[in-house]
Amino acid sequence: MSRPLIAKQKSLSPVIVIAHRGASGLRPEHTIAGYTLAIEQGADFIEPDLVLTKDDVFVARHENDITDTTDVAKHAEFADRKTSKTIDGTKHVGWFTEDFTLAELKTLRAKERLPLLRPDNVQYDGQFEVPTLAEVIALAKQHKVGIYPETKHPSYFAGIGHPMEARLVAELKAAGWDSADAPVFVQSFEVDNLKRLNGMTSVRLIQLLDASGGPADKATPSYAAMITPAGLKAVAAYAYGIGPGKAMVADGTLIAAAHAAGLRVHPWTFRAENYFLPARLWSGVNPRAHGRVEEEIRQAIDHGVDGYFTDFPALGVAARAAAAKDQ
């Protein structure tokens, strides 16, 4: 075990394990099978990224472009829906959830996003539906775990006549989740949608941050500005915590600053494959072989994170247990 770079810090809250897109290291992402495996492996929260259908139903997809994570290209009946769109400044060519009703989307099947890195998951291609938020909520309630939904491209969706906030709040309220102790965190890389949500619900909100760039809604100039003491104080006015990229917590400084502002810290995303690990944690030279992600998670725990996203919930749970044993 490599030594922490700075002294150990304590988390503000009990450390939670968040299953990133389900147990997405082991099943195609955002499928009931992947979420179910995550729950079996001990995840505290399952993470659906949320986009809307043509008939305004929330479904779990990482983006509204479903070209790479479903078999839509094989459906001749939808060939004429292929189009090009610019979303948050990036051009996409393919098929998009907002052009499909839920009934149409339900005829598609999920496929593995990363077949070269995760070849074992390809065996599940074609087996699983695109789940709705309602189905994810039902699963979470059945197994008594929480959900950690992310609004994807909220400004884009509002701009095409599909605002997200009221629909999300209504769906959470219908599930009985409208308070700060509900088993829910809502996250976004954008800012203004979180501020609007803060005025509409008391569920906990998480401001996502990246190591470069800034929010697509341009509500603040950059993520760098948001992690200054003044920036963190501003985030604390509407959010319960921050979700920074894992590299942003590698030395513990941001965690201490966020905690000082009263914010919890849930970094993303811990993945076992060498490809996603720093060179010092690789095992062998194959990018898809698993390296020592437990050490990476342990360092984050020692720096005081309040939870973390992982594609491999079992490894996340084991790393937390090992850290607790060493206390």
Q: Going by C-beta distance under 8 Å and a sequence separation of 6 or more, which residues neighbour residue 202?
A: 178, 179, 180
Cβ neighbours, 10 Å, residue 270:
25
Per-residue binder mask for ligand G3P (CB under 6 A), 87-126, x = binder? ----------------------------------------
Q: How far is the CB of 107 from ligand G3P (least distance, A)?
A: 25
Distance CA 74, CA 185 (A): 36
CB 108 within 8 A of CB 97: no
CB 117 within 8 A of CB 26: no
Nearer to ligand G3P by C-beta: 70 or 104? 70
Nearest to 97 by CA among 65, 57, 135, 133: 65
Residue 20 binds to ligand G3P (criterion: CB under 6 A):
yes
Distance CA 302, CA 309 (A): 16
Nearest to 208 by CA among 217, 9, 199: 217
**Scanning residues 160 to 219, which ones bind ligand G3P (CB under 6 A)?**
187, 208
Angle, helices 133-143/165-174, rounded to nearest 10 degrees? 30
Q: How far is the CB of 4 from Ca ion (least distance, A)?
A: 27
Give me the amino acid identity at 181. Answer: D
Nearer to ligand G3P by C-beta: 20 or 27? 20
Residue 154 binds to ligand G3P (criterion: CB under 6 A):
no
Nearer to Ca ion by C-beta: 153 or 196? 153
CA distances 265 to 144, 193, 231, 233, 256, Å, are 23, 20, 15, 14, 9
Choices 149-157, 239-247, 251-259, 278-286 (CB under 5 A): range interacting with Ca ion: 149-157
**Scanning residues 231 to 260, which ones bind ligand G3P (CB under 6 A)?**
243
Q: Which of 49, 63, 165, 171 binds Ca ion (CB under 5 A)?
A: 49
Nearest to 241 by CA among 202, 185, 195: 185
**Scanning residues 307 to 326, which ones bind ligand G3P (CB under 6 A)?**
309
Q: How far is the CB of 103 from Ca ion (least distance, A)?
A: 26
Q: How far is the CB of 210 from ligand G3P (least distance, A)?
A: 8
Residue 268 binds to ligand G3P (criterion: CB under 6 A):
yes
Q: Which of 29, 150, 217, 302 binds Ca ion (CB under 5 A)?
A: 150
Q: Which residues bind Ca ion (CB under 5 A)?
A: 49, 150
